[in-house]
């Protein structure tokens, strides 16, 4: 089973899950091949890079960038015939949901791990562990889903590039996934001011008050 693994910064955990679920196909929406450098990925893994000027993030809000990436990823998944898409939780959190919406698949967010399990009638199911407010939820469903995986913890060691020559990715244009720039979602947000507002945290005088508040937010 092919699994589409979307390449983004800190996607190590997602790549590991994709490899567990099947035969990963690494897909990046990037201007150059450097995005593939240093990834903990077998050299035999198929690599695909898609780029078009309409995907240039410099002029778009992060949410609009992810909406456009979602359109591309969904089309690529259709072309590749992959029913499982694994990606790392994006900055805004919109990418996974938007891909799932376009593919009309279930979406599971905050995924910690996933594996394939046998269902009835030789059917392969996905068993996904999802972080919740007070427990890790174990979900089971058909092997057709978009999984938004939590990024790795800071202390998890990532392997530095070892100088190995990795295979060059296949480069696709939007036309290769049956899209044109006009098919991409129109921007929904515009930034009105470059100045930003910083926030200050709520202040607590001591341990008891802090703990009381954390309990009110669900930490027993």
Binders in 12-41 for another protein, by CB under 8 A: 12-13, 16
Is residue 116 within 8 Å of 143, Cβ to Cβ?
A: yes
- Kindly state the smallest distance separating residue 114's Cβ from another protein, in Å: 11
Residue 52 in contact with residue 69, Cβ under 8 Å? no
Strand, helix or coil at 88? strand
3-state SS assignment for residue 214: helix
Q: How far is the CB of 199 from another protein (least distance, A)?
A: 5
Least separation, in Å, of the C-beta of 196 and another protein? 4
Query: By C-beta, is 171 or 210 nearer to another protein?
Result: 210
Examine residue 183 and tell whether it contacts another protein (CB under 8 A). no
Stretch that binds another protein, among 46-54, 61-69, 73-81, 170-178 (CB under 8 A): 61-69
Residue 53 exposed, middle or buried by CB count within 10 Å (0-12, 13-18, 19+): exposed
Q: Which is nearer to another protein, 15 or 50 (CB)?
A: 15
Which residue, 37 or 133, has its beta carbon nearer to another protein? 133
Beta strand 46-50 with 170-172: parallel, antiparallel or unpaired? parallel
Q: Considering only residues 98 through 157, tell me which ones interact with another protein, judged by CB under 8 A.
A: 98, 100-101, 104-110, 112-113, 126-142, 144-145, 150-156
For 139, phi then psi, to 5°, come to -110, 145
How many other β-carbons are positioned within 10 Å of the β-carbon of residue 106? 15
Measured CA distances, 169 to 29, 58, 163, 191 (Å): 12, 24, 17, 34
Q: In what helix (H) or strand (E) does residue 18 lie, and over which residues does it extend?
A: helix 12-21
Selected range binding another protein among 26-34, 47-55, 167-175, 194-202, rule: CB under 8 A? 194-202
* Choice between 38 and 152, CB closer to another protein: 152
| Least distance to another protein, CB of residue 183, Å | 15
| Closest to another protein by CB, 44 or 194 | 194
68-97 residues in contact with another protein (CB under 8 A) are 70, 89, 91-94, 96-97
Q: Which of 122, 162, 165, 220 binds another protein (CB under 8 A)?
A: 220
Q: How far is the CB of 129 from another protein (least distance, A)?
A: 7
Q: Which two tokens stand for residue 31?
A: 């201007």
Q: How far is the CB of 178 from another protein (least distance, A)?
A: 21
Say if residues 83 and 99 touch (Cβ distance below 8 Å).
Answer: no
Q: Which two tokens stand for residue 198?
A: 């910083």
């Amino acid at each position: 089973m092919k699994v589409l693994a979307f390449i983004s910064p800190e996607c190590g955990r997602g790549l590991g899950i994709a490899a567990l679920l099947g035969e990963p196909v690494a897909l990046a929406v990037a201007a150059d091949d450097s995005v593939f450098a240093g990834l903990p990925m077998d050299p035999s893994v198929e690599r695909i890079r898609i780029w078009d000027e309409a995907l240039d993030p410099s002029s778009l809000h992060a949410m609009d960038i992810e909406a456009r990436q979602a359109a591309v990823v969904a089309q690529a998944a259709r072309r590749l015939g992959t029913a499982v898409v694994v990606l790392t939780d994006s900055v805004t959190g919109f990418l996974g949901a938007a891909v799932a919406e376009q593919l009309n698949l279930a979406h599971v967010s905050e995924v910690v791990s996933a594996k394939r399990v046998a269902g009835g009638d030789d059917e392969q199911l996905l068993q996904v562990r999802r972080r919740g407010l007070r427990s890790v939820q174990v979900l089971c469903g058909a092997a057709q889903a978009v999984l938004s995986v939590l990024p790795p913890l800071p202390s998890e060691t990532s392997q530095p590039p070892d100088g190995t020559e990795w295979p060059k990715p296949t480069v696709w244009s939007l036309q290769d996934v049956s899209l044109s720039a006009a098919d991409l979602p129109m921007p929904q947000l515009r930034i009105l001011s470059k100045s930003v507002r910083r926030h200050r945290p709520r202040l607590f005088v001591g341990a008891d008050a802090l703990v009381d508040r954390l309990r009110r937010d669900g930490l027993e």
